[in-house]
Copies of this chain bind each other. A is one copy, B any other.
Amino acid sequence: MSRLVMKFGGTSVADLDRIRRVGRLVAAEVAAGHKVAVVVSAMAGKTNELVAWTDGAGPAINGLPISDDEYDVVVASGEQVTAGLLAIALRNVGVNARSWMGWQIPIIADDAHGRARIDDVLPDKLIAALDSGQVAVIAGFQGVTRDDRIATLGRGGSDTSAVAIAAAIKAVRCDIYTDVDGVYTTDPRIESRARRLPKISYEEMLEMASLGAKVLQTRSVELAMSQNVPVRVLSSFVEPGEAPGQGTIVCDEEEIMEKRIVSGVAYSRDEAKISLFGLPDHPGVSSEIFGALADANVNVDMIVQSHARTADTANMEFTVGKRDAARTVEIIRAAQRRIGFDDVQVNEDVSKVSVIGVGMRSHTGVAKTMFGALAEKGVNIQVISTSEIKISVLIDAAYTELAVRALHAAYGLDKL
């Protein structure tokens, strides 16, 4: 009998009815002969409520609570509740089950409270329980530090919990149940001809996740890739008695027979463009700017620098997350004398559109197709950035849907 991890997010366990449905999905896998470990998130909305309470109990600095260790104590209770309720629901359909908190397994985390990383999962007790025929219902998103405090893994951390557990117990697969039935070539709300991908490589999924496709948490994909855990994304929103679909398997590139050049088109509206004009053109200026931003924990994404036609000054454009935009301008302005520039401007009316595919490594012409398709629709490209398997462009936000649909068609993704 093979071990299987099933993970259910907040919308899948949003209320008692949904929790009972999840119980039936788990019971079906048990009946199919699997030894099942289930990882659960907090009921939808619960985490936000608990976070708001921690904010109310004491003021926050830079968006992080002062008392991040106690923040973790409060917020981790959400997953504890779901784990207990699902264990009850499972017993109620005749499945032997018990709940496990992070400290009971234990899942050892570092002490970066609120955004901790999993150092280790000690799987012996869990494996013994599974081998005894008991389903393990595990509170996601949480671990225990080496000095016995509760630590949470940050938003979306339950995906990471699930993959780490799957690696530790050597599960055949980690099934991530969510409110969509797989990973799509693009957002179906924008392009109705978007197709579900039967398989996608870890690398592509990683780019998709970090480029705005909110199906899986980036860290969980990194972990799955490094531990070589096959992940499947599928929907928990099936009627009683109905089986979930095949979903999308996230796996090693080698295991995907028919490789596509481009697998998907992603977009993000969370960007803001910062433009600096009249920078002195000498070494050390970039390091001055980005050093100050790194010190303030501002994450900078795309960067381009251009030289003014006249005079020996340069201009620079880069993007940051929209919620960091105002703070970025403050930091830059505070350092104006030191950096020496004429003007700084912000544009929040931009979006980033990206095409992703491992096939880019071996195929040329992907960029040409992209720029051609956008030009044809009159979409102006403001900034370009590339990696080995993706090309991203920053465009006027008003053109987002148009650009996504044009690129989806240009790479033939609607004919998969």
Q: List residues of A whose CB falls within 8 A of some B CB.
A: 16, 19-20, 50, 53-54, 56-59, 65-67, 69-74, 76-78, 80-81, 83-89, 91-92, 98-99, 101, 103-104, 148-150
A58 engages B103 (CB within 8 Å): no
Q: Contacts A53-B16, A148-B104: A73 and B99 contacting too (C-beta < 8 A)? A: yes
A57 engages B99 (CB within 8 Å): no
Most buried by B among A67, A91, A149: A67
B85 engages A80 (CB within 8 Å): no
User: CA of A71 to CA of B81 in the docked complex: distance in angstroms?
Assistant: 9
B92 engages A84 (CB within 8 Å): no
Q: Which 8 A/B pairs are nearest by Cβ-Cβ distance?
A: A73-B84, A58-B92, A74-B84, A77-B77, A16-B56, A57-B88, A58-B88, A67-B88
> Which B residue sits closest to A17, measured CB to CB?
B56
User: CA of A202 to CA of B54 in the docked complex: distance in angstroms?
Assistant: 39
Contacting residues, chain B, for A20 (C-beta < 8 A): 57
B81 engages A53 (CB within 8 Å): yes
Q: Contacts A57-B16, A81-B53: A66 and B91 contacting too (C-beta < 8 A)? A: yes
Q: How many copies does the complex hold?
A: 2
A59 engages B99 (CB within 8 Å): no
Contacting residues, chain B, for A148 (C-beta < 8 A): 104
> Which B residue sits closest to A54, measured CB to CB?
B88
B74 engages A81 (CB within 8 Å): yes
User: CA of A20 to CA of B58 in the docked complex: distance in angstroms?
Assistant: 9
Q: Contacts A67-B91, A77-B77: A54 and B103 contacting too (C-beta < 8 A)? A: no
A130 to chain B, nearest CB (A): 17
User: CA of A66 to CA of B53 in the docked complex: distance in angstroms?
Assistant: 32
B50 engages A70 (CB within 8 Å): no
User: CA of A104 to CA of B73 in the docked complex: distance in angstroms?
Assistant: 12
Most buried by B among A20, A73, A98: A73
User: CA of A9 to CA of B71 in the docked complex: distance in angstroms?
Assistant: 21
30 contacts between A and B (CB under 8 A): A16-B56, A16-B57, A54-B84, A54-B85, A57-B85, A57-B86, A58-B91, A58-B92, A59-B92, A66-B88, A66-B92, A67-B88, A67-B91, A69-B98, A70-B88, A71-B84, A72-B84, A73-B81, A73-B84, A73-B87, A73-B99, A74-B81, A74-B84, A76-B80, A77-B77, A77-B80, A77-B84, A80-B80, A103-B103, A104-B148
- Excluding A53-B81, A70-B91, A76-B80, 10 further A-B contacts by CB distance (< 8 Å) are A16-B56, A53-B85, A70-B88, A74-B81, A74-B88, A77-B78, A77-B84, A80-B80, A101-B150, A104-B148
A88 engages B71 (CB within 8 Å): yes
**Within the complex, which residue of B54, B74, B89, B98 is in contact with A57, where a contact is CB–CB below 8 Å?**
B89
A92 engages B50 (CB within 8 Å): no
User: CA of A74 to CA of B73 in the docked complex: distance in angstroms?
Assistant: 14
A397 to chain B, nearest CB (A): 38
